[in-house]
């Protein structure tokens, strides 16, 4: 019987030691799964942290303690999808590049005055 299963069967309440154990055992695999899924380190880190937090808060919903890693990975992937959906309509200015327009393409209402002093 695994150490986690012994702890899990003794108490399903959230305490600091139990939370640290879950974090230490499963955070790396959660962040790797998230990074593999989305390819962005910041999103992966955010999704993995939130997944561990949700797993600790909802540990009483876990039916089989042997499947905690798969359960946390599933929560992580759901978090990645939620984050990606939140940002899918946002376009970065860096991606767009500079906006360059010539005088010929400017609207008629923009007047360009040439001063006689500049040659």
pLDDT digit string, tens, across residues 83-110: 998 887 776 666 655 566 566 665 555 5
Long-range contacts of 62-70 (CB under 8 A, 24+ apart): 62/8, 65/2, 65/4, 65/5, 65/8, 65/9, 66/2, 66/5, 68/4, 68/8, 68/22, 68/26, 69/25, 69/26, 69/29
Ordered domains of the chain (ranges, CATH): 3-90 (1.10.1740)
Whether the model pTM is above 0.85: no
Whether 20 has a pLDDT exceeding 70, the answer reads: yes
Whether 119 has a pLDDT exceeding 50, the answer reads: no
Instruction: Supply the pLDDT for residue 63.
Output: 86
Mean pLDDT across 75-79 = 94
């Amino acid at each position: 019987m695994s150490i986690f299963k012994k702890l899990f069967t003794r108490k399903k309440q959230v305490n600091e030691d139990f939370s640290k154990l879950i974090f230490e055992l499963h955070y790396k695999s959660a962040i790797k799964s998230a990074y593999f899924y989305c390819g962005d380190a910041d999103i992966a880190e955010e999704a993995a942290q939130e997944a561990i937090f949700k797993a600790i808060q909802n540990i009483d919903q876990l039916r089989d303690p042997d499947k905690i890693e798969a359960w946390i990975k599933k929560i992580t992937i759901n978090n990645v999808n939620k984050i990606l959906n939140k940002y899918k309509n946002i376009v970065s200015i860096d991606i767009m590049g500079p906006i360059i327009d010539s005088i010929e393409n400017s609207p008629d209402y923009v007047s360009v005055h040439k001063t006689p002093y500049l040659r």
